[in-house]
Amino acid sequence: MPEIFSYPASPHLASRIDNRPIDFERIKQATQALSERYDYVLLEGAGGLMVPLTDDLLTIDYLAREKYPLIFVTSGKLGSINHTLLSFEAIQKRNIPLDTVLYNLYPDVEDPTIREDTRHYIATYIQRNFPGTKFISVPIL
Ligand SMILES: Nc1ncnc2c1ncn2[C@@H]1O[C@H](COP(=O)(O)OP(=O)(O)OP(=O)(O)O)[C@@H](O)[C@H]1O
Ligand SMILES: C[C@H](N)[C@@H](CCCCCC(=O)O)NC(=O)O
């Protein structure tokens, strides 16, 4: 975590509140250092794909610029189909490789009928539109 800000909000706002621009070079160097030590390095985005990192750079465009493959996390909450398929549209438009979709079964309080249908719908959509993308359900730990 080479870049931490004080206010829990979108990065573009958090950095404005702290009056400190995000140092992308520091993030790049930290990622490179980890890549030299480990086989895999996971970078977690703050919020969703369209979250602004700066007033001119969205998280999804940072991914595209750095040519990172994407692991997309979704869930069975009502509204997830819409949110997930809109994200897929944005991913396809930028030719970002969609390596894996993780379907988070947490929280358990969601409607199991909706959660199971959402899981099936998204898994089927990926088979049809993203051949080669892995779909993995994440159990409640
Ligand atoms: N599969 C799971 N099993 C058990 N607990 C979970 C699971 N997934 C998420 N949680 C719980 O929910 C919390 C929030 O999950 P997570 O950090 O994935 O949310 P998020 O959408 O990334 O939130 P934020 O964008 O604020 O980081 C976790 O800290 C954990 O306590
Ligand atoms: C503070 C939140 N928890 C999150 C940032 C979410 C920004 C959302 C911006 C938006 O979509 O309106 N941070 C994070 O995922 O580390």
* Whole-prediction pTM: 0.93
Q: Which residues is 38 bridged to in the sheet?
A: none
User: Can you give the pLDDT of all 141 residues of the chain as single tens digits?
Assistant: 899 999 999 999 999 999 999 999 999 999 999 999 999 999 999 999 999 999 999 999 999 999 999 999 999 999 999 999 999 999 999 999 999 999 999 988 778 899 999 999 999 999 999 999 999 999 999
Judge contact between 51 and 59, C-beta under 8 A: yes
Of ligand 1's listed atoms, the one at least distance from the Cα of 47 is 25
Question: Which run of H or E residues covers position 63?
Answer: helix 59-66
Give ipTM to 2 decimals: 0.89
Residue whose CA lies nearest to ligand 2 atom number 6: 47
- Show the tokens assigned to 78: 């009502």
60 burial (CB, 10 Å; 0-12 / 13-18 / 19+) is buried
Q: Is the CB of 43 under 6 A from ligand 2?
A: no
